[in-house]
Structures are given as C-alpha cells and as structure tokens.
C-alpha cells in the first residue's frame, strides 16, 4: 500500500475502496480524502454502495465517475486466498455481484457481505 500525499489511514475507522481506472489500482478513501493506493485490499464488515444519482449520470453520458465503492474495515494482513469474486458494471447492473471461484457457481446480488 502506498500513501497518497503522505496521508495516513486510521485503522479504527472504515475506508471506502473503489477501482481507480487512471492509476489501475484501488484507491482507499477515508473522511472524504484519498489516503492510499494499493494493488490488493482486504476488508471486513463490508457494505457495497452505489450512489444511484451518479450511476444514472454514467449511463446517460458514458463518462465514468466514482459512484460505487465498498466500505469496510481495512485489514493489514494481505496473506489470504480469495474464495469469491465481486464485480459491478454500471451499464448492466444496479448492484454488486458475488460469485465463488468455482466453475459451477451462480452469481448472487450482494449489498453487505462477509466473505
């Protein structure tokens, strides 16, 4: 994880994580400020948030903006094996979708999740 503008993350507060399409990494926001960027992020107590007003703007204009993110408590131990994939497409979905990393799994809509 790389600090942004020498800002520090308070691990006792939730962070909002979204995909930074320009930097091709994850941006971690806390108290309305981007605090860090990372290639991998591990969260617990997650809520999946989509701001409908801005999602509609993306669909109407085709111009992407930050309107969807995962909010949760950041863990600093990145030694884990993923068991699920979470994805979101603003042009096709009104929700995040979770599916297990197996061939036979069916996607399910999620809003809160402990993976």
Query: pTM, whole model, 2 decimals?
Result: 0.82
* The pLDDT value given to residue 75: 86
Reply yes or no on whether the pLDDT at 107 is more than 70.
no
Task: Give residue-wise pLDDT tens across range 56-65.
Answer: 999 999 888 9
Give the count of domains, the chain: 1
Q: Which domain holds residue 30?
A: 2-113
Tokens 């600093």 sit on residue: 76
**CA nearest 69: which of 106, 32, 115, 23?**
32
Reported as a single tens digit per residue, the pLDDT across 4-23 is 999 999 999 999 999 999 99
Alpha carbon distance, N-terminus to C-terminus of the chain? 21
Q: Provide the pLDDT for residue 108.
A: 59
């Amino acid at each position: 994880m790389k600090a942004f503008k020498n800002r520090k993350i308070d691990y006792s507060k939730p962070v909002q994580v979204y995909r930074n399409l320009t930097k091709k990494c994850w941006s971690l926001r806390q108290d309305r400020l981007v605090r860090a960027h990372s290639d991998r992020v591990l969260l617990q107590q997650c809520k999946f948030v989509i701001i409908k007003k801005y999602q509609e703007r993306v669909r109407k204009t085709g111009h992407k903006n930050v309107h969807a993110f995962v909010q949760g408590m950041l863990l600093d131990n990145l030694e884990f094996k993923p068991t699920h994939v979470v994805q979101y497409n603003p042009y096709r979905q009104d929700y995040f979708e979770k599916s297990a990393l197996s061939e036979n799994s069916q996607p399910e809509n999620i809003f809160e999740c402990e993976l």
